[in-house]
Structure 1
Amino acid sequence: MGCAGSSQTKGDGTVKKIRKPKPWKNPQPLTKTQLMQMRDEFWDTAPHYGGQKEIWDALRAAAEADLTLAQAIVDSAGVIVQSADLTICYDERGAKYELPHYVLSEPTNLIRDG
């Protein structure tokens, strides 16, 4: 039985808290519509890269949520976070999941649609 001050830990005894990704710049300025299209294409094809569809779904939900909810999503899905910005994660079976920066945050040179 845990106490109120206990926390869930991963295999190495620590929980990696997720954080906001570092700012990034796309080689060419993107509109919000173009960014959303790139994200949709990634998520549509992500399960074909390997791993479990349920984990990809959890990672998408986490990528689209605020940090507190994202942390709860990855914790409940059993996702092992290697990079605190969610760019590299693993599932409990050891499958690797790599997320590009464009699905996690907006570029610094984003052009707002008209």
Structure 2
Amino acid sequence: MKPIHYFYTKAFSDFSSRMQFIGLTSALLMSTHPEIYVMLFFLGRQIGGMIISYLAGIVADRYSKRRTMIISELASGIAVLSLLFIEHPMFIVIAAFILGITYTFFDVSFRSSIPIMFGEE
């Protein structure tokens, strides 16, 4: 049986999350009422993560952690790319809600796969 090696790029995920945050908040700061939209951006991201956190734990336990991380990264990329077509600040807030959900799925799956990658001890 051949060994299978996986290359996890957690640093790329963290970097892309920070770049998404910088890019989206700077786009919101150029809107007509930036204080309202930035507040909704932060609330949307946090509420999205809090609502889905229980489900993310269940998914991480029952399904492939690697596949969950890949799907969540693809979904966050699609959410950000969808902003190319609709430029309204409220759509950026909706995308932030989706990014909160996908980041929670990725983070829970990654943290639960650490003992598998490096051993229980």
TM-score by length of 2: 0.32
- Structure 1 or 2: more helix by fraction: 2
- Structure 1 or 2: more strand by fraction: 1
TM-score by length of 1: 0.34
